[in-house]
Chain A
Amino acid sequence: MSSPKILSVDDSRMIQAIIKKAFADYDVQMLFANNGAEGLDVAAKEMPDVILLDITMPVMDGVECLGKLKADPSLKDIPVVMLTAEMGKENVLRIVKMGVRDYIVKPFTEANVIERVYRIVTLKQKAAAARAR
């Protein structure tokens, strides 16, 4: 089975550095994009197994990017985990309704991100294996 591809879409070098460090010891392929528009391009080209998507970004924010991902038949099934500093009920409901698989509230620990991503990747691999049987 090939290494899972994880796409992190975030304009913050700090967050990108933390995500990169978190997965440094794992057998994964990390992909990075600096905003929603770049994220869509990379997603279409690389078909990642999971996308970590920030909300507040210049050029195209995470909410718009999520809408475009869900509207694209070839990308709509890629699981998206939103990263947000706003965990208010209204914000959480809004992003959950848009079809995110999960969300991570900032500040977050490396272990928290790894656990959420691996849960999704493992489920995906199990589903693929079941389909292949």
Chain B
Amino acid sequence: MPGPEKPGNSLFIETINRYVPEVMQTMVGLTATPGQGIENYPQPSKLQGVTGSIRLSGKVNGMVYTAYSESLSKHVAKKILGGNAGDQDISDVVAELTNMITGNLKSRLCDMGYNCSLSIPSVMRGEEITVSAKNATICVGNDYAIEGSSDSLRVLVFASLEN
């Protein structure tokens, strides 16, 4: 009997399109409207601003990136924490939101038999952050229009799946 279908690019896009808006709405109170999504996202890719990342290890190996412009990251942090959110607060918010999005993605993968563990999130800042994953077979990304901001949140997933 054939085993369960191997998750492909479209499942990853569908999954982040489900969880990014849910996390943003529930935790931040802002709507996040998905763009069209890109399968076979080009590598290496350049991100800028404040980028959260988490490593997936196990039957799925890869990285999840969430990239905010400086202005968008302040907008989101201020909505949650109020007042003047400092750099540390912004990093903390980006890390936690990345953790929630990736945790939900992981749960879906685990339920499909692709168990993996997550690293602690890390946050990078810069004008030109280059990201790539050499052997990734899953390369997807999407931009999310965030309520009250002219900038979009970009989410990328680069991963490879064990047979």
Cβ of A85: which chain B residues have Cβ within 8 Å of it? 99-100, 102-104
Cβ of A90: which chain B residues have Cβ within 8 Å of it? 110, 115
Tell me if A13 and B103 are in contact (CB < 8 A). Answer: no
Question: Nearest Cβ distance between residue B96 and chain A, in whole angstroms?
Answer: 4
Tell me if B80 and A17 are in contact (CB < 8 A). Answer: yes
Query: Taking the complex as formed, is A8 at the interface, i.e. its CB lies under 8 A from any CB of chain B?
Result: no
The majority secondary structure among interface residues of chain B is helix
Task: List the one stretch of A23-31, A95-103, A105-113 in contact with chain B.
Answer: A105-113
Query: Taking the complex as formed, is B124 at the interface, i.e. its CB lies under 8 A from any CB of chain A?
Result: no
Tell me if B107 and A14 are in contact (CB < 8 A). Answer: no
Query: Taking the complex as formed, is B11 at the interface, i.e. its CB lies under 8 A from any CB of chain A?
Result: no
Cβ of B26: which chain A residues have Cβ within 8 Å of it? 107-109
Query: Taking the complex as formed, is A72 at the interface, i.e. its CB lies under 8 A from any CB of chain B?
Result: no
What class of interface size applies to chain A in its complex with B? 20 to 34
Query: Taking the complex as formed, is A73 at the interface, i.e. its CB lies under 8 A from any CB of chain B?
Result: no
Could you tell me the distance between the alpha carbons of A87 and B105 in the complex, rounded to whole angstroms?
Answer: 10
Tell me if B110 and A56 are in contact (CB < 8 A). Answer: no
Q: List 14 A-B contacts (CB under 8 A).
A: A13-B89, A14-B77, A17-B81, A84-B103, A85-B102, A87-B104, A87-B107, A88-B111, A89-B111, A90-B115, A107-B25, A107-B26, A107-B27, A108-B27
User: A residues engaging B (CB < 8 A)?
Assistant: 12-15, 17-18, 56, 58, 84-91, 106-109
